[in-house]
Amino acid sequence: MSARLTRRFEALARAGRAGLVTFVTAGDPDYETGLEIVRALPQAGADVIELGMPFTDPMADGPAIQEAGCRALDAGMTLARVLDLAAAFRAGDADTPVVLMGYINPILAMGLETFTARAAAAGVDGLIVVDMPPEEDAPLRRAASAQGLHLIRLATPTTDDDRLVRVLDGASGFLYYVSVAGVTGSKSAAGADIDAAVARLRRQTDLPIAVGFGIRTAEQAGAVARSADAAVVGSAIVNVVKAHLGRPDLVDAVSRFVADLSAGVRAARKEHS
Amino acid sequence: MTDAPANSFTQGPDERGHFADYGGRYVAETLMPLILEVERAYEAATRDPAFQAEFDDLLTHYVGRPSPLYFAERLTEHLGGAKIYFKRDEVNFTGAHKINNVVGQILLARRMGKTRIIAETGAGQHGVATATVAARFGLSCTVFMGAVDMARQRSNVHRMTLLGADIRPVHSGNATLKDAMNEALRHWVAEVDDTFYVIGTVAGPHPYPAMVRDFQSVIGREVREQILDREGRLPDSLVACIGGGSNAMGLFHPFLDEPTVRCRAVEAAGRGVDTGEHAASLTRGRPGVLHGNKTYLLQDADGQIIEPYSISAGLDYPGVGPEHAWLRDQGRVEYVHATDQAALDAFQLCARTEGILPALEPAHALAHVAEWAPTLPADHLMVMNLCGRGDKDMDTVVEALGLTAGEAKR
């Protein structure tokens, strides 16, 4: 398995802090700008990069990420170009883990073996495929595993203890906890609910736990970072992209926002201890 | 199920909802526990005679079943070939076959203690049926409908509003059926506790394709009894239009293990299957995953879904039920297609020969009947599912034919 993710979470644990996972849609608003944004993320404080693979029908995404996908597709992004972008990023950054997130249909169109081989060659470390529950993901898991890619599973507030066993069987990299029942960019979960959920997950797994959905501000990211191993922010970053479309300060604006989130995450446990 | 040719065509899906490689449950984890709960509840309901009795009673006294099997005598004479029967599911309460399935799913929702109903709709027939039955049981109802479809099916929007449904216009994508289904799924993810999603066709995650098929199979079971009564033998062929495929599956399923009965489903060819403006997913699509199931989809080389096109809002969908995908590969059902123009011609033919204004969806089936029947002998028995009435399509047809009030087209 790709060691970058494991190394990164080990380093975070040694540093005594949670990580910041930043999601952007690959190639939003276009390939060149998208690549600039991704290249700026580690410097701004992102510990792990999630790259969205645009899809016409993202059924688990709210308006912000739907629109980002449309912008990227309109600008000519394809799954092959997403892999190009990942490779271009990796050429300049050997350490920051990259996880691709999206839906299965474009992957099936490329072919599971071709896709996983090309993703591994591009320096990708893991995959999150939203519409592949454990019941269906065996072929993808085999293909990913053969290329050393982590297949990251999702747990949600609706995942009960019995089902959690199934979700964790074959989970790898980290466990992504979707903190609210809803689509991306929806309302936020209460801090106490997240703490309780993370505690429940920890009783059943040693995998690092990243918490996402509904985290918009440095304060919210900090609250999550007190108990979880990482906070995931997506729609809020994508909204910054949207607010600065066509402006020369787009990449800077994203960097500033990510730096703010990162400060919130880094301060969390100091405040707490 | 294996990939080997099936001995029976009526035993699927397997316990994971697969028809060979098709079907399945490709949904976000948030929905999985709910999908599994629907499956358990449905299995329990099918074993409960009281559930079946309540379903049958409502179909008889509320929906008005059985619907007639009608010998289309003048159409038969006009076409000069096979003897054509219409299964008159357009005389059902609310004007289409959709209500058969809605009654079943809303009874299931009640068993599960759900208080809110959501649905997607294209032509509005499924939305109207859902709003109707929800009102009948005092359940709150929200219908997701593409903004484009709302414009071309205004009368159904009014009907749903009067029935007390909350209509949510969907503007994403082409603002048609596919986008309405995306939005309904997104809404469901956020409202998992009290909400039941009534899917209108034999697609979506397991158990929906099998469940909707079972509820719609009343159509084929009635045809079997009625044709044996009328003709003393089984039909030689069955014809139905197909978008998602619920009326076709309902008609075909009870006959799939009768090798002498040919089944043909008619896809919407729009402006032609080679124009790129059509909704013929089995004719021009490739297998992929959308809306929770693996099936034939209209998609580009990158796996992005291609926006479908049809004059008929109910057939304007880029996918098809997974059992149809399997039946296509097995060669058990033949999938053909008819253009907008052929459907409009058939619409007028039916109006003039039988005094029936069909919905634009079954007008596609009629278009194929008009092509196929004349090539067959007079003792060939053909049953076509007239699955909806045309009232909802008056504006579209009048505009497409360039008619103004009081003017008849020769």
**CA distance linking residue A85 with residue A80, whole number of Å:** 9
Residue B407: predicted pLDDT: 60
Name every chain A residue with its beta carbon within 8 A of the beta carbon of B305.
56-57, 105
Which tens digit of pLDDT belongs to each residue from B198-211? 999 999 999 999 99
In the numeric block, which tokens belong to residue A58? 């993202």
pLDDT above 70 covers a percentage of chain B that reads 97
- Radius of gyration of chain B measured on its C-alpha atoms: 20
In A, minimum Cα distance to B303 occurs at A106
Residue A186: predicted pLDDT: 81
> Under the phi-then-psi rule, with left for phi > 0, alpha for psi from -120 to 50, and beta for the rest, what region is B124?
left
B345-348: list long-range contacts, CB under 8 Å, 24+ apart: B345/B370, B346/B370, B347/B390, B347/B393, B347/B397, B348/B401, B348/B409
Shortest Cα distance, chain A CAs vs residue B63, angstroms = 33
Query: Chain A contact for B289, CB < 8 A?
Result: yes
- In a 3-state reduction of DSSP, which class is residue B353? helix
- The ranges of chain B annotated as CATH 3.40.50.1100 are 18-60+98-212, 66-95+217-400
Residue A191: predicted pLDDT: 80
* CATH no., domain B18-60+98-212: 3.40.50.1100
Which superfamily does CATH assign the domain made up of A3-265 to?
Aldolase class I (3.20.20.70)
Which tens digit of pLDDT belongs to each residue from A54-78? 999 999 999 999 999 999 999 999 9
Closest CA to A184 of A62, A58, A15, A44: A62
pLDDT above 70 covers a percentage of chain A that reads 99
Q: Is residue A248 within 8 Å of residue A221, measured between CB atoms?
A: no
Which tens digit of pLDDT belongs to each residue from B365-388? 999 999 999 999 999 999 999 999
Active site residues of A: 50, 61
Give me the CATH topology for the region B66-95+217-400: Rossmann fold (3.40.50)
Please tell me which of the candidates A104, A106, A186 has its beta carbon nearest to residue B302: A106
Residue B121: predicted pLDDT: 95
**CA distance linking residue B372 with residue A102, whole number of Å:** 45
Residue B405: predicted pLDDT: 60
Name every chain B residue with its beta carbon within 8 A of the beta carbon of A131.
26-28, 289, 292
Concatenated DSSP letters for chain A? Answer: --HHHHHHHHHHHHHT--EEEEEEETTSS-HHHHHHHHHHHHHHT-SEEEEE---S--TT--HHHHHHHHHHHHTT--HHHHHHHHHHHHHH-SSS-EEEEE-HHHHHHH-HHHHHHHHHHTT--EEEETT--TTT-HHHHHHHHHTT-EE--EE-TT--HHHHHHHHTT--S-EEEE-SSS-TT-PPPPHHHHHHHHHHHHTT--S-EEEESS--SHHHHHHHHHHSSEEEE-HHHHHHHHHTTT-TTHHHHHHHHHHHHHHHHHHHHHHH-
pLDDT values of chain A reduced to their tens digit, one per residue, 273 residues: 789 999 999 999 999 999 999 999 999 999 999 999 999 999 999 999 999 999 999 999 999 999 999 999 999 999 999 999 999 999 999 999 999 999 999 999 999 999 999 999 999 999 999 999 999 999 999 999 999 999 999 999 999 999 999 999 999 999 999 998 888 888 888 888 899 999 999 999 999 999 999 999 999 999 999 999 999 999 999 999 999 999 999 999 999 999 999 999 999 976 544
**CA distance linking residue B186 with residue B385, whole number of Å:** 33
* Between A49 and B151, the higher pLDDT residue: A49
Name every chain B residue with its beta carbon within 8 A of the beta carbon of A160.
33
Q: Is residue B104 within 8 Å of residue B211, measured between CB atoms?
A: yes
CB contact under 8 A, B182 and A59: yes
- Sequence ranges of the domains in chain A: 3-265
Residue B7: predicted pLDDT: 78
Which tens digit of pLDDT belongs to each residue from B277-310? 999 999 999 999 999 999 999 999 999 999 999 9
**CA distance linking residue B87 with residue B69, whole number of Å:** 5
pLDDT score of B145 more than 60? yes
B279-284: list long-range contacts, CB under 8 Å, 24+ apart: B279/B243, B279/B308, B279/B309, B279/B310, B279/B315, B279/B316, B279/B317, B279/B318, B280/B337, B281/B308, B281/B317, B281/B318, B281/B319, B281/B320, B282/B242, B282/B320, B282/B324, B282/B325, B282/B328, B282/B335, B283/B335, B283/B336, B283/B337
Query: Chain B contact for A161, CB < 8 A?
Result: no
pLDDT score of B246 more than 80? yes
Contacts of A64 (CB under 8 A, 6+ apart): A184, A185, A234, A235, A238, A239, A242
Which tens digit of pLDDT belongs to each residue from B153-181? 899 999 999 999 999 999 987 888 999 99
The two beta strands, B140-146 and B237-241, are unpaired
Question: What is the ipTM for the molecules in this complex?
Answer: 0.95
Shortest Cα distance, chain B CAs vs residue A212, angstroms = 13
CA distances to B281, B369, B388 from B269, rounded to whole Å, are 10, 15, 19
- Please report the sign of the dihedral spanned by the C-alpha atoms of residue B219, residue B225, residue B226, residue B227: positive
In the numeric block, which tokens belong to residue B149? 């479809």
CB contact under 8 A, A66 and B172: yes
Name every chain A residue with its beta carbon within 8 A of the beta carbon of B31.
158
pLDDT score of B76 more than 60? yes
pLDDT score of B2 more than 50? no
Residue A136: predicted pLDDT: 97
Residue A273: predicted pLDDT: 45
Which tens digit of pLDDT belongs to each residue from B29-43? 999 999 999 999 999
For chain B, the average pLDDT equals 95
